[in-house]
Structure 1
């Protein structure tokens, strides 16, 4: 058994062009690997820290926006093509990976604080409101907040903090493989 994670597989031998390429020629997404990594990290950060624990998002600690060279605080849902292109070209690769690791570590800490009685608790509406107050969710993504408002804590752990991540990481693997095959075919690798 290997200690390599799916995220490790994505970043291993990931060149800058493959990381930032937008749009990508993939059947189920046109978004860049950069966008997907940003998106899953933002969703995990806001759902675990705001909706589950009602605490500060990791994003607002340690100057993450400045380190990543970004101004976007939202999840990336319903983002314009221009903003996806801007994020993809501007985000600092290493800082994004560090932010991803910090959010993952914080999620593990949050899970360790929960007891079985927490899992059936519904998301409090005041926490849903915080998503908009903190620009974690854009106004035109109200559907997303409504979706999360119907979840209990267990549902948030099962979707945003796990399944959602796997879905997007799998897309990243397919994007990377497809772009690398194309580069190889063109004799660029």
Structure 2
């Protein structure tokens, strides 16, 4: 994504925010969501694969040492790029599958918990420096990227299957309880469950599935640019 595409993405997100709760705009909202979402995952996710996405830009030419580097020295994060990719994949998996689709998480359904080689199931919020360092050095990057693509594919199926007015539905308390039982967040980070519990399906589509990814991918790009520029 170049600067013009980023501007277009932000304008698209504003438009999506304006129409997503209007039942008469349901088809347009779903179509726009899918467009916004596609820009945040690998171009392999969509059938045409013709749009250069934010993830494509991040991974193009990225060295493994760059992806794993922890800590990093940037103004808004010190976490590694692989931590950011894992974090957004986990949050999208949890919120879209459990809270919106009422499905099993891809992490378990696809056996990714074992394949990722990290032994961590939660969202990543509240991790210690030692925990982030271990994840950054040990995670299977190939598995991580495939897991994230599978999460994105399921999200698109879930949103595409929604009926008009479903975007207005609130998250059910029993779904939040299910995430808590599954260890979705670390002890001391239950604020995140409360945050999700106050959302509608539209709110989850507008943040965890789109804006949240956009923010963390941009952080990751700044890390890549700084590290590889310094080593050029």
TM over 0.5: yes
- Cα distance in 2 for partners of 1:84, 1:130 equals 25
| Equivalent in the alignment of 2:11 | none
- Aligned match for 1:30, one of 66, 78, 84: 78
| Equivalent in the alignment of 2:99 | 51
- Report 1:68-107 matches (<5 A): 68-107=116-155
Aligned pair 1:158/2:206, yes or no? yes
- Cα distance in 2 for partners of 1:55, 1:137 equals 18
Question: RMSD value over aligned CA atoms?
Answer: 1.1
- Aligned match for 1:9, one of 57, 69, 73: 57
53-62 or 158-167: which moved more?
Answer: 53-62
- Cα distance in 2 for partners of 1:118, 1:139 equals 31
CA contact (8 A) 1:20 1:32 kept: yes
- Cα distance in 1 for partners of 2:220, 2:110 equals 27
| Equivalent in the alignment of 2:163 | 115
Aligned pair 1:143/2:184, yes or no? no
Unmatched tracts of structure 2, length 5 or more: 6-49
| Deviation of the 1:63 alpha carbon | 1.5
CA contact (8 A) 1:132 1:138 kept: no
Q: TM-score, structure 1 length as denominator?
A: 0.95
| Equivalent in the alignment of 1:187 | none
Q: Show structure 1 runs of 4+ deviating over 2 A.
A: none
Aligned pair 1:125/2:173, yes or no? yes
3-state SS of 1:101 partner: helix
127-136 or 157-166: which moved more?
Answer: 127-136
| Deviation of the 1:53 alpha carbon | 1.6
- Cα distance in 1 for partners of 2:114, 2:222 equals 30
Aligned pair 1:180/2:228, yes or no? yes
- Cα distance in 1 for partners of 2:96, 2:110 equals 18
